[in-house]
Chain A
């Protein structure tokens, strides 16, 4: 019984990790660059969602307001992603790869402190949106409606992204830029715009992930972006960075490992379990579970 429950809880948070991991993996696939400020985008999405839900008033949220919160977070994070790319990453595209790490850290500090100054350093409570009546699940495990929403939203978004990347012109240009930016430019693909769009889409997904995270745990803090971002990045690497289905698989697996680790080992060792499994996977399958491309240098 507890096993089933832990699996369910783990998969729920894993779905959120997967949404954030997609942003890491898309940017990495195209620029071979780790967007270390991505976790802050997620955190800001959570705060935007909370703000919208607070406008609804306590206890009177409902599906409509939740949708509004996700839409607002997606739009806000989309703009934020575009701005980040423009200010901190595009000017350094020709620079040594590690220098964008510094601008990303700078961005992280800036965004974290901006949120802290605006909303305060204490934990913020996210109002309840759905009646927390439990849906009875199989074998005594309990599924809440919110978990259902989290699964539904994240899987729809992942399917949509998959369809976009493999079924549209924009997706084809993204894949072309990922393979060879120079050749893509010669074929008339507006490389800069494609890269900016990649940031925008990844950030919007992270924003929605932030709202889901907020309603799932019902408290958020301006520090949340750091650890959750780290875990989502881990998920992306676990699945094979640069690989979209890999990010989804990695996110779900990481959530699952965490859930089981928290249930059977202890909550304190939860993060060790996640990282230890990650290291083992990388040692025996150095390019992640679904990754095939060889990542040469940092």
Chain B
């Protein structure tokens, strides 16, 4: 506990030690992805539901806050839980029909839902601003402190959210719920025979994962001040999934490390300019060949 507290303080102090605003920007992106990866890890890692449309919940969170703020003047701190709730609800609503199919079929259904959400958002011009998205979303304020456009306060907020989520994930994993998830993941039939309500457990995982993505989306929208649908494409879902798998399925620490690695690596490769993404692809292949079970994976 002490060690973890110290680590958290160290992370929070990072932008004070290194005041380079470009670095802080990268760090806040990494923290945002850490939050998203933690959320997806609940769905894919704990409950074993291969989800390929996670960016849709991220989008629902971002657009929820954007619309609540622009149309009803909701402040950020009211929008944050609302965005989480709406995204969690969306995850359950889309999950209810999808949960009946399994394995790779679930993957393709979630992929389809993800694409549908993105296309619907793109085409509902009168609500979502279409391909141009929404602009002028309010930045948060904490008492007299205004967050503004600088990355630092968002970084702190995201690190705190990610830390709280990671803590909750680790506790959940050890609880009856976490054990039930793993039981359902490993053998749904056997888990059912032991009295685990598989459907409820899966929906719970989906709703919690959706909630986390909603929070992340809300902070993202507030930080950018704009949301556009192309942020939430299939590649986004795949990248978040890649972070979870790279870190090691079912490990909260792994999800965070995978997220940091995959969001910082392209920046480190920036000096290779045009060859950057080429090398990034090779790095991904190399990492998996060295450690196929992921960095923190046990299986």
Contacts and interface: CB of A to CB of B under 8 A. Distances in A.
Interface of A: 28, 34, 87-88, 91-92, 94-96, 98-103, 105-114, 117, 226, 230, 233-234, 237, 241, 268-269, 271-272, 275-276, 278-279, 282-283, 286-287, 295-298
Contacts of A94: 292
B26 interface: no
Contacts of A237: 104-105, 108
A40 to B, nearest CB: 10
A298 B103 contact: yes
A234 B108 contact: yes
Would you call the interface of chain B mostly helix, strand, loop, or mixed?
A: helix
A96 B284 CA distance: 16
A279 B120 CA distance: 16
Contacts of A233: 108
A69 B230 CA distance: 35
Contact of B241 (A100, A101, A103, A297): A101
A100 to B, nearest CB: 8
B281 A282 contact: no
B270 interface: no
Nearest to B282: A110
Contacts of B242: 101-102, 105
A236 to B, nearest CB: 9
B277 A109 contact: yes
A98 B109 contact: no
Contacts of B297: 96
A269 B100 CA distance: 26
Contacts of A101: 241-242, 245
Please list the 8 inter-chain residue pairs (A to B) with the smallest Cβ-Cβ separation, ordered nearest first: A95-B292, A106-B284, A109-B281, A110-B281, A298-B50, A275-B112, A106-B285, A113-B278
B4 interface: no
A234 to B, nearest CB: 7
A283 B108 CA distance: 11
A187 B282 CA distance: 37
Interface residues of B, number: 50
Contacts of B11: none
A295 B280 CA distance: 32
Given A99-B288, A101-B241, A272-B119, A282 B294 contact: no
A114 to B, nearest CB: 6
Interface in B170-184: none
B144 interface: no
Contact of B278 (A105, A117, A297): A117
B275 interface: yes
Given A101-B241, A295-B104, 10 more contacts: A95-B288, A95-B293, A102-B245, A105-B238, A109-B280, A111-B281, A117-B275, A234-B108, A241-B104, A278-B109
Given A101-B241, A109-B281, A92 B108 contact: no
A161 B249 CA distance: 38
Contacts of B147: none
Contacts of A276: 112, 116
B289 interface: yes
A147 B248 CA distance: 47
Given A95-B293, A268-B123, A276-B116, A107 B108 contact: no
B289 A268 contact: no
A275 B115 contact: yes
6 contacts: A98-B44, A113-B277, A237-B104, A268-B123, A275-B112, A282-B101
Contacts of A298: 48, 50, 103-104, 106-107
B283 interface: yes
A114 B299 CA distance: 34
B109 A114 contact: no
B156 interface: no
B165 to A, nearest CB: 22
Given A88-B285, A110-B281, A102 B246 contact: yes
Most chain A beta-carbon contacts within 10 A, residue among B44, B50, B112, B120: B112
Contacts of B287: 102
Contacts of B284: 102-103, 105-106, 109
Nearest to A242: B104
A269 B122 CA distance: 10
Contacts of A269: 119, 123
Given A87-B285, A113-B278, A98 B234 contact: no
B102 interface: yes
Contacts of B283: 106
B143 interface: no
Given A92-B292, A283-B101, A103 B249 contact: no
B263 to A, nearest CB: 15
A106 B107 contact: no
A237 B103 CA distance: 12
Interface in B123-163: 123
A108 B119 contact: no
B113 interface: yes
B289 A96 contact: no
A96 B249 contact: yes
Nearest to A99: B292
B104 A114 contact: no
A117 B123 contact: no
Contacts of B277: 109, 112-113
